[in-house]
Structure 1
Amino acid sequence: MTELLTAAQMRAIEQAAIESGEVTGLELMERAGQGVVEAIFEEWPELAESVDIGRGASPSRSPEYLEKDEGTRRAVVLCGPGNNGGDGFVVARLLKERGWEVEVFLYGDPDKLPPDAKVNYERWLETGKLTDNSLMRRDYLCQNFELRIDAVFGSGLSRPLEGDAWAFCWEMIKSTPEVAIDVPSGFCSDSGRFLDSQDKDWSDAPDTQLIVTFQRPRQGHYLAGLAAATDKVVVKDIGLGAKVPSFKRNATGRGDSSITSLMTARIRSADTKRSSDFRTGKQKHKYSHGHALVLSGGHGKTGAARLAARGALRIGAGLVTVGSPRSAMFENAVNLTAIMLQQIDGAHGVSEMLEDTRFNAICLGPGLGRGADTQAVVMAVLKEQRATVLDADALTRFERKPEALFNLLHETCVITPHGGEFAKLFPDLAEKLNAPATAGPAYSKVDATREAAKRAGCVVLFKGPDTVIAAPDGRCSVNSAHYERSAPWLATAGSGDVLAGFITGLMARGFSPMQAAETAAYIHVECALEFGPGLIAEDLPEQIPAVFRKLGL
């Protein structure tokens, strides 16, 4: 589990450390600059070699450059008017001390720099100089430097880039910045969104190859546009590890300016799955691992339910039964073996079947259809107050009156909307999320999912490459399929049905709704990575044994 911080949380942590007297702001800035330089040479070790050994290693090295200076590596650092710029001055000085030729551009008035940034600006002037901003041209930046560093606007940016700031950063960004400190200039570190009030087209802007941030990743590094526009994020320790607190929730589940009440979103790592519940040293009866019920649609609409059922069985439910209407019994029967099958017709049939209290987790929605019966079936299931996963048709059937669904949901439910389904259930939240980000911190997918969970009264898993999971009390996790966990082939028909089955199977095993949703989302991506390109939904459950072995289960 990795804690994600907002910009306000990181500032509060730094300020607490400074006020305690254990570190100064100047020391933190020096450590940050050192961390950036370390990250650069770890990512591109050839740049740490002498020029003669590492000749030609940089993708930006051009014949024109080679003719200019055969014995020097060259970097350009673009510094901004705040402490992010101060970090940049440290990086420039440290690179120069290693024998690099470094040019520094500054946006803003040096006399108005914050105190610590001003000190590092003056230290830079002892060994170097500022380059005239008239040279801030795309061709110059692209052809003359092996390394380009964006230290203009970091995680504290609160408004879109306009005027001179826009022009300064536009030239930098269009020249393919290789390294950004905290975030590429213009992005909101809380939401991962680009702040833009001028409707500028960033579709052809190249990716940032490396972001270097400090102590903990920011929330936006794993959300929305920023994660998609960045190749890699490296987190460098600047000596605040012991000072990062265990955050507590406030009454609303939203953070405030106090360290003790700030919330974190989380990216779950493999230890999420390391539950003693999965260790089978003692042999148990199959019913001790739960009995999951997956409701099927009618004739021709049964595949989704079978995918969910297979996922529930593979992830550990002791028994799984598909409840099928009469019209689809034969269709399901010829495709099921270890999964049991029972005829259920309508809401009355569901209620009768659930008289068997051994059914302790229910999945409904995949392929269920959007007819009048679907709403009645959903109501019949929710009335039983058992662990329930609602997906697909079970959600969209209530799009005209989502409040009717919210009134039925309870704390042992998980709903799993994708973007379109989320917009139908929570149109006002979707509108805020999709509106242009004109100020920072911008409204984020984390904000939207937390509000949705509070409104629904249950766990909400908002699907996507940046899946966000939130509980009504404000707990929140991000399961991000970016960077080394990128699995674009997971976007295939039926993969969401399998995910619903995973959650159902884990709740049948006794996992809480939040734990089941977090763990299932993590395993879902791991299964995709295990299989690789060419994946179809049927492949996902079959990767679970290999994934479990890797986790030591």
Structure 2
Amino acid sequence: MLDALQNVLVTPAEMTAIDKAAADSGIDSFTLMRSAGMAVSAAALRLFPEALRFVVLCGPGNNGGDGYVAASALADGGADVAVFALGKPEALKGDAARAQRACPLSVQPLIAYEPQVGDVVIDALFGAGLARDLPEEAYETIERVSEGRIPVIAVDLPSGVDGRTGEVRGTSFTAAHTVTFMARKPGHLLMPGRVRCGALEVFDIGIPARLVSERAGDLRINTPAAWGSHASALDPATHKYRRGHLGVLSGGSLSTGAARLSAAAGLAAGAGLVTLVSPAEALAVNASHLTAVMLREIRDTEDLATWLKDKRVNAFVLGPGFGVGKKARDFALMLCDRALVLDADGMTSFEKARAELFERAANSGGRLVMTPHEGEFARLFPEIAADAALSKIEKAQAAARLSHAVIVYKGPDTVVAAPSGRAVVNANAPPSLATAGSGDVLAGIVGAHLAQGMPAFEAAAAAVWRHGEAGTRAGRGMTAETLIENIPPLP
């Protein structure tokens, strides 16, 4: 059943609604808790058969209930188990209270736990629903566990990680393994939560997929399932003039490399033709480096308007090494009625003049994709970036709504968001992608997809995925040039 949910991301609020829907449908909620706790105990025995003692840390809610079930199952299996609780066990309610009463082990206060060599901690303090800073007792326990280098298995999400935002609420466990239930949560993918989870296991506790799907929003993990139905438009056997013509705009003679990287990536990613648009002073240097990519001189808006009479030139990349200023703004506004990737200098040029760009994007009927990293995002969307209550996903969604563009909010946890609210979080990018020119390559891949007719959201999401796969193929010593050589075919 989990195959149907493998790309779904569920927020903590949506998971609460799913749990309620399951109970309303007649599914026994304690049976679900028992399944969750048994899955955790099975993972503990499988992963740490050499453990001298399993230490189960139980919180004051249902996550703690999962912990009591796990502790009981481990003890039944003959393991040495110790249970420590945050708060008073007698104050528990509902299923958590039932699980605690059924646990045959004595319960000690959390503050009494002293890590020992051979311990394995099962963290059942707080799950994905945590939305406040940790209490002092939990904070101190996490610090002691970290100092003792005790391996941790997290129940649902490492305590201290906010399941909605991935942010750390003061401190958190860094788990070796995390067991979550039914579907991943944003905190499993968004940084820094992602690196605190260790290996992630999603376990089916028995909630029908229909109930999960009906209450999940438009948030998904970025895989071919999100855009694969549009990949047929990129048939490599078709005629080159039907595979789109991508134009990439170059900067001056000392700033041409970034645009050439985008152009080369666009060609490698499947555009039928790619033209590098160059000012007169950069023609010679660009010509000396180009082979399959064509070259065209365009000095000003009049030259650009003349070229745009050729409707076969249907997608553009503007920004890499182009320069910040009026020329970038004028060119971008002229290109908004086609498909446009606005990157780097192209976005920064609108820092103090964004209203005209957003209005043009709303009214032009074109396909605008913007690809900001964190600094560029803060310059173009300062009020959204400054809102600490929003997750990275929510910031990207808000920026997409405001700008009427598809937003590729870059980073190790790149988020692609559409004005409709649809969003994907990328999970296949290796750390080696953090290298000069990597973003220029990504812009070129997005441009290639747009040129070949993919809708803007799917073009961007597919490009981010291919970019990540290329990074993995290229390996740790990659450069932007070798990244281009490793762009994989679309699945």
- Aligned-pair distance for 1:306? 0.7
The answer to whether structure 1 residue 428 and structure 2 residue 383 are counterparts is yes
- Aligned-pair distance for 1:538? 0.9
Within the candidate set 233, 254, 258, 1:277 is matched to 233
The answer to whether structure 1 residue 186 and structure 2 residue 160 are counterparts is yes
Figure out how many residues of one structure are paired with residues of the other and give that number. 480
The answer to whether structure 1 residue 30 and structure 2 residue 34 are counterparts is yes
The answer to whether structure 1 residue 372 and structure 2 residue 326 are counterparts is yes
Change (3 A) 1:537 1:35: same
- Aligned-pair distance for 1:244? 3.6
- Aligned-pair distance for 1:285? 2.0
The answer to whether structure 1 residue 143 and structure 2 residue 117 are counterparts is yes
Work out the CA distance in 2 between the residues paired with 1:142 and 1:295: 62
Structure 1, unmatched stretches of 5+, are 49-56, 59-72, 197-201, 248-258, 434-441
Partner of 2:484: 541
Work out the CA distance in 1 between the residues paired with 2:255 and 2:228: 32
Identity of paired residues, percent?
A: 40
- Aligned-pair distance for 1:119? 1.1
Work out the CA distance in 1 between the residues paired with 2:139 and 2:54: 22
Q: Are the counterparts in 2 of residues 350 and 381 from structure 1 also a CA contact under 8 Å?
A: no
Q: Secondary structure at the match of 1:213?
A: strand
- Aligned-pair distance for 1:167? 3.4
Work out the CA distance in 1 between the residues paired with 2:145 and 2:450: 50
- Aligned-pair distance for 1:163? 3.5
Change (3 A) 1:206 1:9: closer
Work out the CA distance in 1 between the residues paired with 2:476 and 2:136: 44
Q: How does 1:364-443 map to 2 (within 5 A)?
A: 364-382=318-336, 385-410=337-362, 412-433=367-388, 442-443=389-390
Q: Once the two structures are superposed, what CA deviation does each residue of 1:424-447 show, in whole Å capped at 9, x if it has no partner?
A: 0000111114xxxxxxxx520011
Within the candidate set 11, 17, 33, 1:12 is matched to 17
Q: Secondary structure at the match of 1:493?
A: coil
Partner of 1:159: 132
Within the candidate set 110, 130, 148, 2:107 is matched to 130
Work out the CA distance in 1 between the residues paired with 2:197 and 2:56: 19
- Aligned-pair distance for 1:185? 1.3
- Aligned-pair distance for 1:168? 4.3
Q: How does 1:297-336 map to 2 (within 5 A)?
A: 297-336=251-290
- Aligned-pair distance for 1:172? 4.2
Partner of 2:3: none
Q: Are the counterparts in 1 of residues 41 and 71 from structure 2 also a CA contact under 8 Å?
A: no
Q: Are the counterparts in 2 of residues 80 and 151 from structure 1 also a CA contact under 8 Å?
A: yes
TM-score (norm 1): 0.83
State which drifts further: 228-237 or 209-218.
228-237
State which drifts further: 227-236 or 171-180.
171-180
Work out the CA distance in 2 between the residues paired with 1:245 and 1:105: 32
Partner of 2:417: 470
- Aligned-pair distance for 1:193? 0.6
Q: Are the counterparts in 2 of residues 17 and 243 from structure 1 also a CA contact under 8 Å?
A: no
Kindly provide the amino acid, as one letter, of the partner of residue 447 in structure 1: E
Work out the CA distance in 1 between the residues paired with 2:175 and 2:109: 25
Structure 2, unmatched stretches of 5+, are 1-5
The answer to whether structure 1 residue 240 and structure 2 residue 207 are counterparts is yes
- Aligned-pair distance for 1:36? 1.4
Q: Secondary structure at the match of 2:276?
A: strand
Work out the CA distance in 1 between the residues paired with 2:99 and 2:197: 28
TM-score (norm 2): 0.93
Partner of 1:97: 76
Q: Are the counterparts in 2 of residues 74 and 101 from structure 1 also a CA contact under 8 Å?
A: yes
Change (3 A) 1:429 1:353: same
Kindly provide the amino acid, as one letter, of the partner of residue 232 in structure 2: S
Change (3 A) 1:468 1:330: same
Q: Are the counterparts in 1 of residues 234 and 243 from structure 2 also a CA contact under 8 Å?
A: no
The answer to whether structure 1 residue 39 and structure 2 residue 43 are counterparts is yes
Partner of 1:85: 64
- Aligned-pair distance for 1:342? 0.7
- Aligned-pair distance for 1:173? 5.0
Q: Are the counterparts in 1 of residues 86 and 109 from structure 2 also a CA contact under 8 Å?
A: no
Q: Are the counterparts in 2 of residues 389 and 504 from structure 1 also a CA contact under 8 Å?
A: yes
Partner of 2:198: 231
